[in-house]
Amino acid sequence: MSKKLRYSEKLDCRHCGNVAPMRCPGAVSDTQTEEQDFGPPVEHGMIYEVLICPKCEEPSIRQGHWHDGMEDEDDWHGTIIYPSEPTRVAGLPNEVEREFVAAQKVATVSPNAYAVLLGRVLDVVCDDRNAVGDTLHQRLVDLANRDEIPTNLADMAHKLRQLRNVGAHANLGTITNDEVPVLEALCRAVLEYVYAAPQLVAQVESRLQKLFSN
Ligand SMILES: [Zn+2]
């Protein structure tokens, strides 16, 4: 017996970044029925829907509240609960954020492209921090010399720069999925240090000031 395939509206796949309707092989409902003093019993609860990305074939799970007053399927709105949303780095300037998000979208599709785009994130960080130099290498050294980033972090950023070169030039080798988490950790470390940590310190300072001004 052939089963009619059901598809969602266009969704953003958090595994591979593809935007397309996803196949829905099934859903689980966790509902209860409540008797009413007047009128028919009311059924309501949670629906969990499994969605399969047409591009990477990885599953996502969407959760949403449902009640039997919903007349149409379109009345139900779920939120993706798996995979979880990538954690954002606090305090990123718009352009850095944009480049970092763009890079994350290709992480699982093309590790080589991911390395190249993370290198672009470093370029934008250097622009934002007014780093001086003709090459990314010189600009990272400049940031370290000016104490914008500590030397050991600059060394890590150099590794990311080297991996970016590998990603961009096939004759130098290839970046595999195994390197993706390392690349991400390297880039996050730089972003956390340059943007998130100072913002956190500023927040703590402001709270301390309020505390002591009372
Ligand atoms: Zn996908």
pLDDT digits (tens, 9 = 90+) for 157-208: 888 899 999 999 999 999 998 999 999 999 999 999 999 998 889 999 999 9
Determine contact, residues 45/65, Cβ cutoff 8 Å.
yes
Q: How far is the CA of 52 from the centre of ligand 1 (A)?
A: 8
Determine contact, residues 18/39, Cβ cutoff 8 Å.
no
Confidence at residue 87, expressed as pLDDT on a 0 to 100 scale: 82
Q: How far is the CA of 17 from the centre of ligand 1 (A)?
A: 6
Determine contact, residues 150/111, Cβ cutoff 8 Å.
no
CA gap 198, 96 in Å, rounded: 16
Q: How far is the CA of 11 from the centre of ligand 1 (A)?
A: 10
CA gap 72, 41 in Å, rounded: 19
Q: How far is the CA of 160 from the centre of ligand 1 (A)?
A: 26
Q: How far is the CA of 16 from the centre of ligand 1 (A)?
A: 4
Q: How far is the CA of 62 from the centre of ligand 1 (A)?
A: 14
Q: How far is the CA of 57 from the centre of ligand 1 (A)?
A: 6
21-56: per-residue pLDDT in tens? Answer: 999 999 999 999 988 888 888 899 999 999 999 998
Q: How far is the CA of 156 from the centre of ligand 1 (A)?
A: 30
* Helical segments of 106-150, H only: 111-128, 136-145
- Which residues face 65 on adjacent strands? 46
Confidence at residue 3, expressed as pLDDT on a 0 to 100 scale: 56
Query: Ligand 1 (ion): which residues have CB within 5 A?
Result: 13, 15-16, 18, 53, 55-56
Q: How far is the CA of 111 from the centre of ligand 1 (A)?
A: 15
Show contacts of 80-89: CB within 8 Å, 24+ apart: 80/11, 80/14, 83/14, 83/15, 84/14, 85/14, 86/14, 89/188, 89/191, 89/192, 89/195, 89/196
Q: Residue 56 corresponds to which tokens in the numbers above?
A: 């990477």
Give the residue, 86 or 122, on which the prediction is more confident. 122
CA gap 44, 66 in Å, rounded: 6
Confidence at residue 96, expressed as pLDDT on a 0 to 100 scale: 96
Q: How far is the CA of 77 from the centre of ligand 1 (A)?
A: 20
- Could you tell me the domains of the chain? 7-82 (no CATH), 94-213 (1.20.120)
